[in-house]
Amino acid sequence: MAILAYATPTDDQIAWLDAASAPDLLPAHLVAFLQCGVSITLGACGRTGRPVVGSGVACRVSGMNTVRVLLSRRTEAAVIDAVEGGSAIAATFSRARDHRSIQLKASRALVRPVAPDDASEAARQCALLADDLVELGYARAQADVYALLGAPDLVSLEFRPERVFTQTPGPGAGAELPR
């Protein structure tokens, strides 16, 4: 098992400032991170006003400004219902090997059907996450279950991030990355 360095919030802030992109576009390094096989935690506000939390299985970014989180319709019904009810969305993307974490927030999102190639891309990203977990010491079967490898009932949660935060553990975690 390899010893891996941890990411820091300062790393996120420097990368963000070094990336030259238009204010309404996500920088290329962030787009690559979102699609590299990370765990995805979703937060929304249910119709009763109570928080709901769920998990995405993969992410796709189009046009450098539209994020599509792929999730299971069956297991993430509460998040889907909250979004259909008009809830804002928060999506946190965390890489297992170094704990780098980025959170995107939007005041609204849409539930959409998946595109024809989304299932194969979800399988690719889930496999990358599972491989990272195995490298960290998880048993292969445990890693595959955690990564939700092969979720058969995918839908897409689509939004344009309005705010971006570093959630990487350490001093500065939670800081907004200015647009």
Residue 154 lies in a domain: yes
Category of 64 on φ-ψ map: left (φ > 0), alpha (ψ -120 to 50) or beta: left
Task: Please report, for the domain that includes residue 37, its CATH number.
Answer: 2.30.110.10
Q: Give the model's confidence band at 21: pLDDT under 50 very low, under 70 low, under 90 confident, else very high.
A: low
Extract the tokens encoding 144: 């595959």
**Can you tell me the mean pLDDT for 81-101?**
96
Q: What is the number of structural domains in the chain?
A: 1
Residue 177 lies in a domain: no
User: Is the pTM here over 0.85, yes or no?
Assistant: yes
The mean pLDDT value for 98-126 works out to: 95
What is the domain range of residue 157?
Answer: 9-170
- The pLDDT of residue 79: 98
pLDDT of residue 11 exceeding 50: yes
Q: Does 35 map to a domain?
A: yes
Residue 3 covered by a domain: no
Tell whether 61 is covered by a domain: yes
What percent of the chain has a predicted confidence (pLDDT) above 90?
Answer: 77
| Residue 1 in this model has a pLDDT that exceeds 50 | no
Q: pLDDT for 118-168, tens place per residue?
A: 999 999 999 999 999 999 999 999 998 888 766 779 999 999 999 999 999
| 176, part of any domain | no
Give the pLDDT confidence of 67-80 residue by residue, as tens digits. Answer: 999 999 999 999 99
